[in-house]
Amino acid sequence: MKLQTGTRLGLYAALELAREPERTLSASDLADRFGVSAHHMAKVLRNLANAGLVRGGRGASGGYRFTGNRKRTTLMDIVALFEPAPGSRPKEPGEQTDIGSALQRVLTEIDEIAEATLRSVSLETMLKAKR
């Protein structure tokens, strides 16, 4: 499964901040840790902040901390902030044909399994597995 870069960074940042909820890290700190530009990380953090998962940060040096619920927030909650919702994708050329719709059923099956997996793993479970 391929996640967009922003999604992956959103997961990295949320997990890193959720690891120690009292600690604050700046967009620059997180950007350095995961090898991306501070600008890109700041954009990702704004998205997480709008969803109430992190708070803080003005500019690249402002500190962010985790404000969500580690047990209740799943990987899917974060993925959904960055990726289009399942079913909201525009139809691809050829999808209306019998072959196209048969292929789409297989792809939907794969998406449903991926979504169930992402929805079943909380940040708490992820962080526990890391120890």
Question: Applying CB under 8 A, which residues contact other proteins?
Answer: 74, 112-113, 116-117, 119-122, 124-125, 128-129
Q: How far is the CB of 21 from other proteins (least distance, A)?
A: 18
| Residue placing its CB nearer to other proteins in the complex, 31 or 75 | 75
| Residue placing its CB nearer to other proteins in the complex, 5 or 120 | 120
Q: How far is the CB of 86 from other proteins (least distance, A)?
A: 13
Q: How far is the CB of 107 from other proteins (least distance, A)?
A: 16
> Which runs of consecutive H residues, i.e. helices, occur in the chain?
5-19, 27-34, 38-50, 75-82, 98-120, 123-130
User: Which has the closest alpha carbon to 25: 6, 44, 8?
Assistant: 44
DSSP 35: T
Distance CA 3, CA 83 (A): 8
Distance CA 13, CA 51 (A): 14
| Residue placing its CB nearer to other proteins in the complex, 104 or 125 | 125
| Residue placing its CB nearer to other proteins in the complex, 107 or 116 | 116
